[in-house]
Structures are given as structure tokens and as C-alpha cells.
């Protein structure tokens, strides 16, 4: 299929391709690619087509749990309540496979980026405190819990000590999904 490019507006220059694939941990996915043969615009997206029961996983972070596998879909919310940190899905939310340490790295990177934007001294101080706390977590000096909540049931924490339970309907209503859902 070809449509007009959203960047250069060339008529019928945007080629759209999609294909289905089965990916470990995510199930069936649809990958879409848009390419403009005039200006070179390129956009790719992956949509998880399978979903399970709405689930909540949690794990206390300790040196021996830093390598616990974390599968996060584009509909998941990740929280570290003891530090007041939360990442909710948005329209550009992406899925990834990492570990607990990688999740901490992602929070750290986001705080470092925000720190550069803050001019308010109080916000800068709070950001620096969070970075110190995350370093303490990584070193086993501070104990926190990582929580992954996914209304689409596509995310999980893979570790023997991870807690797992279905989300209540009340909890589900409070969660964002980050995208329009399609019922099959």
C-alpha cells in the first residue's frame, strides 16, 4: 500500500509494509514499517497482538536479584514506590527485555536528562537525591521494590522470588495502556 508522506507530502511515496511474527516472551507481534522513497522518512513500530490476564509482578531489589529478567510490553507501568518513581506508557511507549539493573539504568538516564532541564534548585536537588538513592539500590545499600503492572498481561519479572498476582478491576482502571486497544 502507498500513501502520501507526512513529511515531504510526496503523492503516494510512502510504502507501508507489515508482517506477523512470533517472538519469545511477547507472543504474536505485528511489525509495521513506513518508508518514503522521496525524502527517506522511516518509521517502524511493533504491536503485540497476544495478551493475557492483567498482571502485577513485584521483586525486592538486592544484589542477587539485579539480573532478574524483566519483560516490559508497551502497555506496562513500572514503579519503584519507595523512591516515588513511575513510568507509565504513552503513545510512543516501547516494549523491551532487560533485567532489574537495566530498569534502574533507564530510571537513572531519565533523571539525568531531566536534571539538565530543571532550573529550579529544589527540583535539581531532588533529582540528585534520586540518583544517589538509585546508586545505593544498585550497591545493595538501599532496599526497594520494582513493580510491573500490565493490563494486557504481556509483561513479567522472571525470578523465583518475584511475586505475581492478577490485577483487580479497580487497579486496571487506574492504569494507562499507552495506545488504543483493538478487540479481536
Domain ranges of the chain: 2-48, 55-174
What pTM, to 2 d.p., does this model score? 0.77
Size (the chain), residues: 184
Count the neighbouring beta carbons within 10 Å of the beta carbon of residue 152. Answer: 23
Per-residue confidence in pLDDT tens, the chain, 184 aa: 678 898 998 888 889 999 898 877 667 888 888 999 899 999 887 777 778 899 999 999 999 999 999 999 888 999 999 999 999 988 777 788 899 999 999 999 999 998 888 888 998 999 999 999 999 999 999 999 999 999 989 899 999 999 999 999 999 999 887 544 434 3
CA 7 vs. chain centroid, Å, equals 27
Using the Cα atoms of residue 37, residue 38, residue 43 and residue 48 in order, give the sign of their dihedral: negative
C-alpha cell at 58: 513485584
C-alpha cell at 112: 539525568
Q: Are 59 and 161 in contact (CB under 8 A)?
A: yes
Q: Measured between alpha carbons, how far is 130 from 136 in angstroms, rounded to an integer?
A: 10
C-alpha cell at 113: 536528562
What pLDDT score was predicted for residue 13? 83
Instruction: For residue 96, give the nearest of 43, 34, 173, 148 by alpha carbon.
Output: 148
What pLDDT score was predicted for residue 50? 75
CATH superfamily ID and name for 2-48: ZPR1, zinc finger domain (2.20.25.420)
Q: Are 31 and 46 in contact (CB under 8 A)?
A: yes
CA 87 vs. chain centroid, Å, equals 7
The CATH architecture that domain 55-174 belongs to is Sandwich (2.60)
Amino acid at each position: 500500500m502507498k500513501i502520501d508522506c507526512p513529511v515531504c507530502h510526496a503523492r503516494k511515496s510512502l510504502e507501508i509494509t507489515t508482517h506477523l511474527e512470533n517472538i519469545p516472551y511477547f507472543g504474536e507481534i505485528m511489525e509495521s514499517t513506513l518508508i518514503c522513497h522521496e525524502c527517506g522518512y522511516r518509521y517502524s513500530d511493533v504491536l503485540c497482538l497476544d495478551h493475557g490476564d492483567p498482571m502485577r509482578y513485584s521483586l525486592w531489589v538486592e544484589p542477587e536479584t539485579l539480573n532478574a529478567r524483566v519483560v516490559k510490553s508497551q502497555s506496562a507501568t513500572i514503579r519503584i514506590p519507595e523512591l516515588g518513581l513511575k513510568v507509565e506508557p504513552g503513545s510512543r511507549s516501547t516494549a523491551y527485555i532487560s533485567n532489574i539493573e537495566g530498569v534502574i539504568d533507564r530510571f537513572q538516564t531519565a533523571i539525568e536528562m531531566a536534571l539538565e532541564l530543571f532550573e529550579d534548585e529544589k527540583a535539581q536537588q531532588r533529582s540528585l537525591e534520586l540518583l544517589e538513592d538509585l546508586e545505593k539500590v544498585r550497591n545493595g545499600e538501599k532496599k526497594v521494590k520494582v513493580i510491573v503492572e500490565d493490563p494486557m498481561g504481556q509483561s513479567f519479572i522472571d525470578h523465583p522470588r518475584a511475586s505475581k498476582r492478577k490485577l483487580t478491576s479497580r487497579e486496571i482502571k487506574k492504569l494507562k495502556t499507552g495506545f488504543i486497544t483493538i478487540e479481536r
